[in-house]
Amino acid sequence: MFVDRAIIQLTAGKGGDGCLSFYRGKGIPKGGPDGGDGGKGGDIVFATDSGVNTLYDFRGRQHWRAKNGEQGRGKSQFGAAADDLVIRVPEGTLIFDNESGELIADLGPGDRRVICRGGIGGRGNERFKSSTNQVPLTAERGEPGEAFEARLDLKLIADVGFLGKPNAGKSTLLKALTHADPKIAAYPFTTLSPQLGIAELDPSRRLVLADIPGLIEGASSGAGLGHDFLRHVERTRVLLHLLDVAPPDGSSPADNYTAIREELFRYAPALAEKPELIALNKNDLLLDDEERAEAVRTLRDELQLDAATEVLCISGGARDGLEQLLQMLWDTVHVDDEQAATPGWRSADDAD
């Protein structure tokens, strides 16, 4: 099960109490103070792990506590510091203070961050001896560890994110390009949670692809799968906009493209500036190459795309045109940043 949000309680370890002790030995009935310090409480550390791709482990465990430090002992023995509690999470996990909404950490590949610090151990009475206080009766308690309620949000990190209306064929394409096995059916919102797959052009070139739930008009205001869709798009490097060449609802590919681009622009204008490729999918529904070329020309004319904007005509189901698509995705993902602006499209507001 894909889980991309969790609310948990974090409590770092308490520091061990200092020891109140006086040395007692044979022939030394009244030795000096020898109480040791308590050990430090364990920290709570979050570390990203490329082998973890969901927050599922947090569903059945709400409280995460690090161990307390050991208490100090007599004979000037310090208590041992507790081990840190290391929590492994997917790359792209954001950690918020659930009460204030403050972003505590944004964890990318290889990140490791202390989120809650353990308490310092208390001092034993040996620390308080002096020339004027030779029999100190004071030992400190260990400090409590930091604690707060955390909200974890997962935003997928992928090279390419698939955009498109429900039933545009994104799941079918992901299955054709990778070893992923997403659920596929002819009804809206088959993909209710993001699916990841790895496409291999050759042993040295791989792309992480993300099939993200279908987007509808009003998503930027929370309609449909709304923000659950859009927040995952933010972490993808390149967008592949997949259009049904013959939408079953009678709409046109150009209308669907424009509607989704508007939703991206309303949610976060930066999303509309990501590098993008456009693919007309299900070309096996057209009779021949002439009809496919005409479909591409019609889309380009209706969207007023410039010559720099590539439009491919493919079929995920028939596996037609996929090699060219993968090569173009690879080239787009690895293009220099200054060449990666999305060409050929303006929002309706800019057009005015």
What pLDDT, on a 0 to 100 scale, did the predictor assign at position 352? Answer: 42
Distance between CA 184 and CA 168 in Å, rounded?
Answer: 11
Q: Which two tokens stand for residue 249?
A: 């609802």
**Co-location of 115 and 211 in the same domain:** no
CA distance 115 to 8: 13
Based on the fold, state whether residues 327 and 195 are members of the same structural domain: yes
Closest CA to 18 of 136, 144, 123, 127: 123
Asked whether the beta carbons of 320 and 195 are under 8 A apart, the reply is no
Judgement on whether residues 118 and 235 belong to the same structural domain of the protein = no
Lowest mean pLDDT among 36-50, 87-101, 209-223: 209-223
Question: Considering just the CA atoms, what is the radius of gyration of the chain in Å?
Answer: 29
pLDDT tens-digit series, residues 91-103:
888 899 999 999 9
Residue 180 exposed, middle or buried by CB count within 10 Å (0-12, 13-18, 19+): middle
Residue 347 pLDDT: 42
Q: Using the 3D structure, point to which of 111, 131, 154 is the last residue of a domain.
A: 154
Task: Work out how many domains the chain is built from and give that number.
Answer: 2
Of 154, 176, 209, which one is at a domain's C-terminal end? 154
Q: What are phi and psi of 298, to 5 degrees?
A: -60, -45
Which residues neighbour 202 within 8 Å (Cβ) at sequence distance 6 or greater?
A: none
Residues 6+ apart with CB under 8 A from 255: none
Mean pLDDT of 63-79: 95
**Domain at 271, CATH number:** 3.40.50.300
Q: State mean pLDDT over 276-301.
A: 89
Mean pLDDT of 29-51: 91
Q: How confident is the model at residue 220 (pLDDT cuts 50, 70, 90)?
A: very low
- Is the domain of 162 the same as that of 129? no
Could you report the per-residue pLDDT of 102-113, keeping only the tens digit for each?
999 989 888 999
Q: Indicate the pLDDT class of residue 236, thresholds 50, 70 and 90.
A: confident
Same structural domain, 142 and 208: no
Range of the domain at 150: 1-154
Q: For residue 334, is pLDDT > 50?
A: yes
Q: Are residue 124 and residue 98 in the same domain, yes or no?
A: yes
Asked whether the beta carbons of 48 and 35 are under 8 A apart, the reply is no
Q: What is the pLDDT, as a whole number, of residue 231?
A: 59
Q: CA 295 to CA 286: how far, in whole Å?
A: 9
Q: Say yes or no: 162 and 296 in one domain.
A: yes
pLDDT for the residue numbered 178: 83
Residues 130 and 244 in one domain: no
Q: Do 224 and 339 have their domain in common?
A: yes
Domain holding 47: CATH number? 2.70.210.12
What gap in Å lies between CA 315 and CA 75, rounded to an integer? Answer: 77
